[in-house]
Amino acid sequence: MKWLVELIKEIPNKLATSLVGILLVIFILINSYFIYKITLFNNIENFLRYSVIIFIIILSALMCIYFYKTIFKRKWSSYIILAIILTIISTSQYFLIVNLNKIFSTVDSMNKEYITYSTSLITLKNSTLNTIGDVKNIKIGIINDTNSIEGYIISREIINENKLDDNGKNTIIEYEDFLFMLNDLYEGKVDAIFLSSNYHIMFSSIERFKNIVDETKIIISKDKKMAKPDIINQPINKAVTEPFTLLIMGVDSTYGGLTKNAAFNGDALLLVTFNPMTLNATVLSIPRDTYVPIMCFRGRIENKIAHAAWYGESCMIRTIENFTGIKIDYYTKINFAGLVQLIDALGGINVDVPIKFCEQNSYRAWGRHTICLNKGVQALNGEQALALARHRNTLLRGDIQRGEHQKLVISGIINKIKSINSLNQVYNLMDAVSKNVDTNLTTNQILGFYNIGKDIMAKGQLDADENIIGIQKLHLSGYDKTIWDEGMRQALYNYVYYKGSLTDVVNAMKVNLDLKNEELIKEFSFSINNVYIPEIIGKGNYKVDYIIHTVPDFTRNSKTYAINWADQHNITINFITIDNTSPEYRETFKNDAIIYQSIPYAYRVDRINNEVGITLKIVKKATTPVPINCLLEQNYNNPSCLIPDMTDWTLDKFNKWVDTAPGSFIVNKIMLETSDPLYDIIKAGLIYEQSKLPGTKIIDIAELTIKYYELLD
């Protein structure tokens, strides 16, 4: 029985030893994981990290020794002390691990190795095709670029999986260009086409396809998760302590992040060079309408640089490298919709809004979702800041001015980040960044920016009232030019850069990248009475050394003008005369008017086949029509003597109609102001209601009232 009594006395000691032993094992495991997490932060505070690792190892050894001695002492106080110490340290380390893991995961997720590509087979809204089972005996368009994941690879998989081309079931037509294919769909030359599922974002900025989401429908879609192409995902073997280039792309996406779809709409392009040794950066905002050769278009034809984004990041990078001659080391793609989340996570930003304007929200919606801002300093939430960064329709300098507004938003974000004082804010900010940023910077390279920030602080340059980094603003000067777009089959605005401006901009970049020595300024004038304004390189008066000659609108000019123009440009013109018996003849044409030209307005002269030349049709002199007398009873029901449908008329058109309308009646005009909730920003300045129904006899009315939307300033 004595041995049993001794055994019972030993139970509390063994239980305490077991419990504390479990705590010690947990402590050692947490320490090991903590050490592992610390090692992930390469080249960040190496001395501190190694010191912490050594301290943890020594602490773990001391805890093991103390535990070993406690077993022999068998004192409850020793067990309790050891248990408290292990619990406190383990809990503290767990808290640190959670935060370190959050930071590392956020940084690591910025380089999205895999992307979910998505392709859809689409048709027009009024088509009888609704399901994949309806796709029989039709013409289907597909891009012929075998390297295009969303345009060709996934499209072919959909074709094979659904046997769309077996035994001549359908006719598959290959295209070299997305726009030619999309235009053929609209014109009924094909019945359905394969496009990226992000197609409504890609093409809705084009006037002809602005309502593409309402004019088309999806028959079938397929998603496929794949690694990004090597050209945009391969690691660059250089440290961020060396001079580097970074392309920042602001993109539109309807998805809640950047893990889906490679194709996008390149709304904002910033080419940055940074020299960590001099802490100097150059920033060039590339206008989205810049007219350059697109490396992924057939024949590398020139077009708006924003359209290179339709083929993904690799096409955009190669296009910019081609026209600037600057090698792009890294890229960062930022989802504009994510900008809303990021700014809201910061609690908003303060910006001096330069103009009064209205813009769509992040989902490209108008109506009650319209974002309207007044001029002046104000706090902006995410939606308002995005509206400022996007808006350009009413800007006198278009995309150039919008680039300046985007810099205001970036400055507002940087200033707000300085005031972060909440861990919850940090978490929200990191969450927004991880979802809406994609880059080819490796995790170690991103973490390497810590040392650059540390150097800035060590050199005493971190001051609340001064810029942390010397930023040299660059400007790509150029001129506006309307050029016929063969893919869209319409004349579009383009921005043609001056070669001299590009040369100066590229030289400044190369100097900052240590690829070229800076030219010394031998003469410098200075006056204490004049405020020094830093030079913006690339902005100034440059010689027009690259003139793109285009075909004029001959229907607005005379035959003599056409002959003189043809002589000046050495172009053959063929005239065809149309008499008043021709179906093409219209009484509204002026005498000897040019009514048709075979080469469209704004077509590039250097692309005209001079063996064919340009054909112009001219009408013979027409007799002046006798005006209809609406006061005569026999003419009461003549279309010219009835009230027309004035919906969507401009006031100018209405006033001209009133001046020429027969009869005598009172006219009232009622304006709906922009502050009214029913105001439609899209129809600013247009008539939306008339007091007399269309078709009413003018002779019968005594008063006419129209209502119109206020015209924006």
Residue 683 sits in a domain whose CATH number is 3.30.10
Verify that 164 and 260 share a domain, yes or no. Answer: no
Give the total number of structural domains in the chain. Answer: 6
The SS3 of residue 550 is strand
**Residue 530: other Cβ atoms inside 10 A:** 8
Query: Is 381:348 a contact under the CB 8 Å cutoff?
Result: yes
Does residue 526 fall inside a structural domain?
A: no
Verify that 155 and 297 share a domain, yes or no. Answer: no
Does residue 628 fall inside a structural domain?
A: no
- The residue range of the domain holding 197 is 116-227
Look at residue 505 in the predicted model and tell me its pLDDT: 95
**What is the DSSP-derived secondary structure letter of residue 152?**
I
CATH number of the domain at 410, please: 3.40.630.190
Query: Is 345:432 a contact under the CB 8 Å cutoff?
Result: yes
Does residue 130 fall inside a structural domain?
A: yes
- Residues whose CB falls within 8 Å of the CB of residue 418, separated by 6 or more in sequence, listed in order: 464
Verify that 321 and 442 share a domain, yes or no. Answer: yes
Upper half-sphere CA count for residue 638 (Cβ side, 13 Å): 15
Look at residue 190 in the predicted model and tell me its pLDDT: 95
Number of H helices, E strands in the chain: 18, 25
Verify that 589 and 642 share a domain, yes or no. Answer: no
Does residue 441 fall inside a structural domain?
A: yes
Verify that 184 and 205 share a domain, yes or no. Answer: yes
Verify that 169 and 265 share a domain, yes or no. Answer: no
Verify that 359 and 451 share a domain, yes or no. Answer: no
Identify the burial level of 425 via C-beta atoms within 10 angstroms of its C-beta, where 0-12 means exposed, 13-18 middle and 19 or more buried.
middle
- Residues whose CB falls within 8 Å of the CB of residue 147, separated by 6 or more in sequence, listed in order: none
**What is the DSSP-derived secondary structure letter of residue 278?**
T
Look at residue 324 in the predicted model and tell me its pLDDT: 95
End-of-domain residue from the set 50, 82, 109: 109
Q: How far is CA 607 from CA 178, 445, 486, 610, 692, in A?
A: 21, 47, 11, 9, 52
Measured distance CA(209)–CA(694) in Å, rounded: 30
End-of-domain residue from the set 596, 619, 642: 619
Provide the residue type at 177 as one letter.
D
- For the residues of 13-38, what is the DSSP string, one character each? HHHHHHHHHHHHHHHHHHHHHHHHHH
Look at residue 586 in the predicted model and tell me its pLDDT: 58
The encoded tokens of residue 245 equal 């280039």
Look at residue 621 in the predicted model and tell me its pLDDT: 62
In this prediction the pTM is: 0.71
Verify that 386 and 413 share a domain, yes or no. Answer: yes
Query: Is 450:44 a contact under the CB 8 Å cutoff?
Result: yes
Does residue 506 fall inside a structural domain?
A: yes
Verify that 442 and 321 share a domain, yes or no. Answer: yes
Verify that 221 and 235 share a domain, yes or no. Answer: no
Share of the chain above pLDDT 90, in %: 24
Verify that 328 and 444 share a domain, yes or no. Answer: yes
Look at residue 443 in the predicted model and tell me its pLDDT: 76
Query: Is 389:406 a contact under the CB 8 Å cutoff?
Result: yes
Q: How many residues does the chain have?
A: 713
CATH number of the domain at 165, please: 3.40.190.10
Query: Is 705:691 a contact under the CB 8 Å cutoff?
Result: yes
Look at residue 158 in the predicted model and tell me its pLDDT: 94
End-of-domain residue from the set 588, 619, 650: 619
Residue with tokens 């057939």: 298
Does residue 527 fall inside a structural domain?
A: no
Measured distance CA(120)–CA(117) in Å, rounded: 10
Does residue 614 fall inside a structural domain?
A: yes
Verify that 508 and 575 share a domain, yes or no. Answer: no
User: Which residues of the chain carry a pLDDT beneath 50?
Assistant: 1-11, 233, 460-462, 464-465, 520-522, 532
Does residue 525 fall inside a structural domain?
A: no
